[in-house]
Amino acid sequence: MYTERSKNVQEKEWAAAACLGDEDAFYKLVSSHKRKLFGIAHSYLKNEADALEAVQEAICRAWIKCKRLRDPAAFVPWLIRILINCCHNELRYRKRTLPHYTEASQEKIEMISVYRLDLEQALDRLKPKYRDVLMLKYYQDMTLTEIAFILGRPEGTVKTWLHQGLKQIREHIGRRGEGYDEKPSF
């Protein structure tokens, strides 16, 4: 059984080998983070098929650009950043096309609580920088230090974005939630 320290050492070795063109090391490294990658993509795209496609696209882009990565130890945050960019691209593409609803998707929408819909609407209205921080913090349980590293921003900036994003969500839900009789359950 690996300890956290030996796991990190192993991942750094895999990253260094992957950046030199070792397909097996690249596969092992990506495989060890597949759940996290899928979770991030799914939290953005809210659809299993699109999330899997975004993960696949991010992995392909990472493989192509891996040899240019200056610091192999930063491979995982770099890959997550690529994935977030792929998710943003997909969301931009969705805005340009007309949505189509099936009966199944309509039923699913009706099953989601009103509060959850308000939260999702509030998240969708945020600037991408605020949404990125909130998604990584609360959906992926990352620390502010990890988020700052992934986004390539100072930790103080990430804290500011977190607080601004939370403030905007509270304002959005506060305006919409005046008529609610029950407590939210998210």
Per residue in 148-175, pLDDT (tens digit) is: 999 999 999 999 999 999 999 888 877 6
Angle between helix 155-176 and 114-125 (nearest 10)? 130
Q: Is the dihedral of CA 57, 60, 66, 71 positive or negative?
A: positive
Q: pLDDT tens across 16-38, in order?
A: 999 898 999 999 999 999 999 99
What is the distance between the alpha carbons of residues 91 and 4, in angstroms, rounded to a whole number? Answer: 35
What is the distance between the alpha carbons of residues 80 and 87, in angstroms, rounded to a whole number? Answer: 10
Q: Torsion over CA of 150, 62, 48 and 103, rounded to 10 degrees?
A: 110
- Residue-averaged pLDDT of the chain: 83
Domains of the chain (ranges; CATH) run 1-99 (1.10.1740.10), 104-186 (1.10.10.10)
Give residue 181's pLDDT: 45
Q: pLDDT tens across 103-130, in order?
A: 556 555 555 566 666 777 888 889 999 9
Give residue 31's pLDDT: 94
What is the distance between the alpha carbons of residues 125 and 119, in angstroms, rounded to a whole number? Answer: 10
3-class state of residue 46 by DSSP: coil
Q: What's the whole-model pTM score?
A: 0.68
